[in-house]
Amino acid sequence: MKKTWYSVLAAFGLAALGGMQAAEASITYVSLNSGDPLPLTTATNTVTFDEQILAAGTLLTTQYDPNGLKSFVGAYYDPQNINASPATVGHQVGNYLYLPPVNQSPANPLSWLFKTQVTEAAFGIATSSASTTVEALLGGSVVDTLSHATDFNGHDFFAITGITFDQIQLSSIEATGAPAYVLVDNIQFSPVVTNPNPNPLNVPEPATLALLGLSLLGLAASRKVR
């Protein structure tokens, strides 16, 4: 009987450890009001699309490579000051060609590739009323995904933390099934940092140490009972 309980104790500790790691990786929806700070306070880079001024309707490819965004697919430069604050302010990119007075049909999906792998990212988005699916990818494979309703109120942001990825892909679909019009701005991100110390001393958090100790205690006791 004791052997069974010790085994359960060890299994619980290991499962809890795994759960802690899994819970760290996520895409979250964030609603902000005008004047609020951007979602990621720890981001080392922010692209507002004011860094390089392009002609209206320019198809984006590698123009923002110097700013850490290696390439875009399905994105056009939009210089109109729509000011759906705080999500999009000033210049932004969209999934449609802005040629007043008529906008061309939107492309779907819209995506961008970071110059290096990143550990966190966030961005503001304004769309025609739609369901937007955000995918974080690494080497072309989906790492995490989240769908949430978005519109043109200027409050919609998505943040990705706790995982390593190198690409973000957006797919926004209206209730009719048609691709939605999408604008993206204020892209925050933090590239993966290579530790200069070849033998870093990683100190686990107290909760992690406690769970690890619980697991080892259970395993040791289980073997002793045998």
Predicted confidence (pLDDT) per residue in 54-98, tens digit = 998 899 999 999 999 999 999 999 887 676 889 998 899 999 987
Give me the pLDDT at residue 80, please: 76
Handedness of CA 188, 192, 197, 203 (dihedral sign): positive
Are 146 and 133 within 8 A, CB to CB? yes
Average pLDDT, the chain: 82
- Per-residue pLDDT tens for 33-51? 989 999 999 999 999 999 9
Give me the pLDDT at residue 37, please: 95
Give me the pLDDT at residue 167, please: 98
- What is the rounded CA–CA span in Å between residue 109 and residue 7? 48
Reading phi first (left if > 0) and then psi (alpha if -120 to 50, else beta), residue 135 is in beta
Give me the pLDDT at residue 90, please: 87
Give the pLDDT band (50/70/90) at residue 2: very low
Give me the pLDDT at residue 101, please: 58
DSSP tag of 65: G
Beta strands per DSSP E along 48-109: 69-73, 76-78, 92-94, 98-99, 102-103
- What is the rounded CA–CA span in Å between residue 170 and residue 136? 9
Give me the pLDDT at residue 121, please: 98
Complete domains list, the chain, with CATH = 25-193 (2.60.120)
pLDDT greater at residue 104 or residue 204:
104
Give me the pLDDT at residue 197, please: 58
- Per-residue pLDDT tens for 159-211? 999 999 999 999 999 999 999 999 999 999 999 987 655 554 555 555 554 54
pLDDT at 22 over 50: no
pTM for the model stands at 0.76
Give me the pLDDT at residue 17, please: 43
pLDDT at 111 over 70: yes
DSSP tag of 7: H
Beta strands per DSSP E along 69-181: 69-73, 76-78, 92-94, 98-99, 102-103, 110-127, 130-138, 141-150, 156-173
- What is the rounded CA–CA span in Å between residue 178 and residue 106? 9
pLDDT greater at residue 2 or residue 143:
143
Give me the pLDDT at residue 61, please: 97
